[in-house]
Amino acid sequence: MSLLTPDAGLLFWMLLSFGAVFFLLAKYGFPVIVKMVEERRAYIQQSLDAAKAANDKIEELKRESDAIIASARAEQTKILHEAHTFRDSIINSAKEEAGKLTSKLIDDAKKEIEQEREKSMKMIRNQVAELSVNIAGKVIRKELEGNDAHMDLIEKYIKETTSIKS
């Protein structure tokens, strides 16, 4: 049956056309296409990887900056706290000092006042004594002018005092 017996002429043409197609496509067709597609695929993969790496880097940097900010914030609170306590201590010590100083000043002033008072009291006493002696002297002199007995008595006392003194 001719259907199952290959025809020599057609074999020849088939070999020729398939050979030509194979030669052309295997040289200029399929390898070019496959190579280009694979290159593009590799390029896309590479770009994706690069983007992923960049993303990771950004994430890492963000984490780092967050950590830095957090530590800075902690530092700030610590410094503020320290400053607060330091200020308090300064104020307290200043208050104490001031208190001491004022009490000392007050004491000094008090002492001075006391001294001045005593001094003036002495003076006043002296003056009062002098005045009273003068007045008493004047009164006594008036009294005495008429009475010799008193004069004698005075003389006698004076003598006594001087004798006691000597």
Partner 1 sequence: MRKRVRHIAILLLAAIVVLPCHLFGKEIDAKQIIFSHISDSYEWHITTWGQKHITVPLPIIVIDKSWRLNVFLSSKVENGALYNNFKIADNGEFSGKVVEIGQNGEISRPIDISLTKSALALVINSLILTILILIVARWYRRKPMTPPTGFVGAMEIFIMDINDNVIKPSIGENYKKFAPYLLTAFFFIFINNVMGLIPLFPGGANTTGNIAVTMVLALCTFFVVNISGTKQYWKETVWPDVPLWMKVPLPLMPLIEIFSVFSKPFALMIRLFANIMAGHAIILSLTVLIFITVAMGPAVNTSMTVISVILSIFMNCLELLVAYIQAYVFTMLSAIFIGLSQVGRKKVGTC
Shortest reach from residue 52's CB to partner 1, in Å: 18
Cα separation, 133 vs 131, in Å, equals: 5
Answer for which of 18, 80, 114, 159 binds partner 1 (CB under 8 A) is 18
* 34-93: contacts with partner 1 (CB under 8 A): 34, 36-37, 39-40, 43
Residue 17 sits in the site that holds partner 1 (CB under 8 A) = yes
- Cα dihedral across residues 64, 66, 67, 72: positive or negative: positive
Shortest reach from residue 33's CB to partner 1, in Å: 5
Nearest CA to 110 among 99, 98, 118? 118
Residue 149 sits in the site that holds partner 1 (CB under 8 A) = no
Residue 21 sits in the site that holds partner 1 (CB under 8 A) = yes
Shortest reach from residue 29's CB to partner 1, in Å: 4
Piece of the chain touching partner 1 by CB under 8 A; list 28-36, 104-112, 114-122, 130-138: 28-36
Three-class SS string for 38-99? HHHHHHHHHHHHHHHHHHHHHHHHHHHHHHHHHHHHHHHHHHHHHHHHHHHHHHHHHHHHHH
Nearest CA to 17 among 28, 29, 9? 9
Query: Contact residues for partner 1 (CB under 8 A)?
Result: 2-15, 17-18, 20-22, 24-26, 28-34, 36-37, 39-40, 43
